[in-house]
A and B are shown apart, each in its own frame.
Chain A
Amino acid sequence: MPKVNAQAWDLPIRLFHWLLVALMGFSWWSGEQHLMDWHRRSGYAILGLLLFRLYWGFVGSPTARFSQFVRGPRATLAYVRSLNTPAYRAPPGHNPLGGWSVLAILAALLMMVTAGLFAVDVDGLESGPLSDYLSFDQGRSAAHLHGYVFKLLLALTVLHVAAILFYLVRMRQNLITPMITGRGQTIVAEAAETTTAYPMRLIGGIVIVTICTYAIARGFRL
């Protein structure tokens, strides 16, 4: 039972999204400028965001949950076919195709961050905090993987923006404003249930994620 003008995206999801946009840009820039202290910090922040997003995918508000937006191939195909029909109605939250896009972007980002954690630069001078567990050559391979996944992320980002433009122009559906204001279609049935437990889950998640990120950033040398 979708309803217009309710909370479509909760505040943590919106913060996650826009912080990720900013940090991806900053990571690219700091990497290009060889500002490796900043590049590492930016990577740790992205790692924290990703861990939080995975956690929030299980306990967040309905539209944030994997169980709500991860659909099988049949549902996805049916959705794609429905796009061209007059009866098309935008589903609340992530649509089935967008759900797969979310998973692809999260997987690519996790690969990117993991490769970065193990990467060693060509001088053996700058490295990720987990590179001590690898040889120089293995660390160089991680660095190369970091470079390949960057191209993959660029491609996924282009696809993401293209899809938003497609919905805006072709489907006359603005996906950008809801990601800023949070207002849009949502699943009302479960919303009331989740909002009560929500502050404790949020604080708990932030604490867990901060500890995990700190431990990884220190290379588990605590």
Chain B
Amino acid sequence: MIQARSLHTTLIIAVLALTGTMAAAPAPTPESVIDARHAGFKKMGGAMKAMKEQLQTDAPSKPILAASAQIIAATAPGQAKLFPAGTGPASGIKTDALANIWTDRANFDAQMAKLAVESGKLVTVVASGDMTAINAQYKATGATCGGCHRVFRADT
């Protein structure tokens, strides 16, 4: 399941990388890119919710924590690449992405890279089984989501 998802993400990245270099290949439509990034964010949001549900119980399920952390870590690195020019609010397609993603790109990419790092750490910490550390890293990962959303996402 997780491997299939990360494979899917890898494929999207591969397709994007290829279309960037090969002019002959058909470019993905803005709609399909926006759909892909929505799906990715929803997958990560769902995993964060699943983790939270476990963390607030007295005996959190280790397999659910591990699988959820893995989903976030596998999805996060590909998301930054799903914001090509022409997929912002000016595209007319329904998106909460704000225009400053494209005008403040270095900052946006840095935030996305931070998510990849924090979610990677989350996987490691979950594997360690130290509940205090897991809780702390869960909050740190969530803070990365929220921090970026406040700057680059329409507050709806």
A132 touching B146 by the CB < 8 A rule? no
B136: shortest Cβ distance to chain A, in Å? 14
**A120 at interface (Cβ–Cβ under 8 A)?**
yes
Number of interface residues of B (CB under 8 A): 18
- Which of A124, A132, A147 has the largest count of B CB atoms less than 10 A from its CB? A124
B6: shortest Cβ distance to chain A, in Å? 19
**A83 at interface (Cβ–Cβ under 8 A)?**
no
Query: Which residues 108-131 of A have a CB within 8 angstroms of B?
Result: 120, 122-125, 127, 131
**A34 at interface (Cβ–Cβ under 8 A)?**
yes
> A136 is contacted by which of B42, B146, B153, B156 (Cβ under 8 Å)?
B42
**A194 at interface (Cβ–Cβ under 8 A)?**
no
Assuming the A-B contacts A132-B53, A147-B156, are A125 and B146 also in contact, with contact meaning beta carbons closer than 8 angstroms in the complex? Answer: yes
B146 touching A124 by the CB < 8 A rule? no
Total contacts A to B, CB within 8 angstroms? 44
A34 touching B47 by the CB < 8 A rule? no
Instruction: Give bound CA distance, A136 to B44, whole Å.
Output: 10
- Which of B41, B52, B150 has the largest count of A CB atoms less than 10 A from its CB? B52
A123 touching B46 by the CB < 8 A rule? no
**B49 at interface (Cβ–Cβ under 8 A)?**
yes
Give me the interface of B with A, judged by CB distance under 8 Å: 41-42, 44-50, 52-53, 142, 145-146, 149-150, 153, 156
Given contacts A122-B45, A124-B47, A127-B52, 8 further A-B contacts (CB under 8 A): A122-B145, A122-B149, A123-B146, A124-B49, A125-B142, A136-B49, A137-B46, A147-B156
Give me the interface of A with B, judged by CB distance under 8 Å: 34, 120, 122-125, 127, 131-132, 135-137, 139-140, 144, 147
